[in-house]
Amino acid sequence: MKILDDDKAFMNAAGERVVEIRGTKVRYYEWGNYSEYVLLVHGWGGRASQFKPMVSALLKAGFNVVAFDASGHGLSTGNESTIFHFSQAIFKCIEKHGLPKAIVGHSLGAVASLLANTNGAHCEKLILCSAPVILEEVLNEFRFKLNASTRVDEWLKYHSVSKYHMELANVEGIRIAQRCDKNQKVLIVHDRYDKAVGIENAYSLMKELPQADTLLTKELGHNGLIRNEKVIGQIIDYIKGLPIKQENKSETRNLALN
């Protein structure tokens, strides 16, 4: 994903550092001079600059912000990237800055944030935006974009075990959510008409995380959701402990169960 011309000056003004992870140079961006920070994690094919509107709003709300370009993304090096690369980049950030006030993950970045959380990144608030948590849907979307056969599914499952010693099913978002601390404060944000990651993914997450609050939007799409002013305002209210204008909780839960 190319950086937008309107975002270049803003990104150039960030403090930057480069950390080597798994042989690749991962670029981190840092803003602010406050006592607490929020970590932003982009999705597959994305980059940190997607979060420009959210970074600006978080700074105005009194939070430092850290984001990164994952391996093989943005200005980071590398020709390989997995949920493990994303998760390790989160932990490298925590090594330097300590635990964030909140982690906001988008798409695959949301699932990677959930994985990091279950492995020890116990931030106060976890915001999961447009999270693809149903493995079969992820594989179907992957094959569709490549115009590939179902044989690719079996190869990916084999590759996961042979290279990462991990069954692919074990990093399915639903299974990760099952391992999440039920006291963890979570906000699930999803657009009802997300064409890339269907709303059923949010419903599945809600089943596994009964303590989660939900914010369902309309017609913002997969990427537009994290750049929308009202959604960003709701996310910041949630981080600050203020009530958000969310869906009727019981009605939304019934939708998920059906």
| Tens digit of each residue's pLDDT (9 = 90 or more) over 104-136 | 999 999 999 999 999 999 999 999 999 999 988
Residue 247's pLDDT band (cuts 50, 70, 90): low
pTM: 0.92
Tokens of 16: 């930057």
Q: Is the dihedral of CA 136, 168, 94, 45 positive or negative?
A: negative
Residue 82, SS3? coil
Note whether residue 180 is domain-resident: no
Alpha helices in 22-82 (DSSP H): 52-60
Domain of residue 151: give its range. 135-171
Q: Given strand 185-191, what is the order of strands in its sheet?
A: 15-21, 24-31, 64-69, 37-41, 102-106, 125-129, 185-191, 213-217
Question: Does 177 map to a domain?
Answer: no
Co-location of 10 and 22 in the same domain? yes
Q: Report, as an integer, the average pLDDT of 198-204.
A: 96
For 26-67, write each residue's pLDDT tens digit.
999 999 999 999 999 999 999 999 999 999 999 999 999 999
What type of residue is 160? S
End residue of a domain, out of 171, 195, 220: 171
Q: Around 75, how many Cα atoms within 13 Å sit in the side-chain half-sphere?
A: 15
Domain count of the fold of the chain: 2
The answer to whether residue 94 sits within a structural domain is yes
Same domain, 40 and 160: no
CA-to-CA dists, residue 117 to 69, 94, 221, angstroms = 19, 11, 26
